[in-house]
Structure 1
Amino acid sequence: SLRGAVKKACRFRPGTVALREIRCFQKSTELLIRKLPFQHLVREIAQDYKSNLHFRSAALLTLQGASEAYLVSLFEDTNLAAIHAKRITIVPKDI
């Protein structure tokens, strides 16, 4: 072996790391959307139905958890539809 030789980094095939990250995020239960922007969105949508609504912090966290769980489920199904069509990239018709 040569002195001072640097070992070449292991390179994964395209998409391997992305799939690993997807599995990791699907398993995690932590919230991925930032809390404040989500809170602003909920309040903005609620304004359309009734003004001066107040939300408990636990209610907002519950809404966020349910929303993220729904989105994960939606994108899982979307990804399966793309794979079934022999595509890697998801398109709007997969949803």
Structure 2
Amino acid sequence: MKKNILLATAFTLLFFSEAMAVDLGIKKFFSEIYNEIKGAYPYAAATGLVLAAIWNKGNFIGQNADTSKGFKNLGIYVAFVAIIAGFAKAVEAYAKNF
């Protein structure tokens, strides 16, 4: 059992070391993705914020208003946008340094 695990680990490491040595043209691919994300991201984020605000309107206004739930939902939206922004920056850094 241990021998099989060791053999599988060695084979996997050997496979990945060979895969890293090959140039697959990834830099061009990531540059194209980054250019697409860079142009569309501000519009998508603004549209998402407007939709999140409209969706949570009932949590701020009305007889059954629950502002803590509304702020929680908007906080989740902001966290999601931050994750997407981090992903965009990671793709940018990867495209520049590759």
Structure 1 length-normalised TM: 0.32
Structure 2 length-normalised TM: 0.31
Structure with bigger helix share is 2
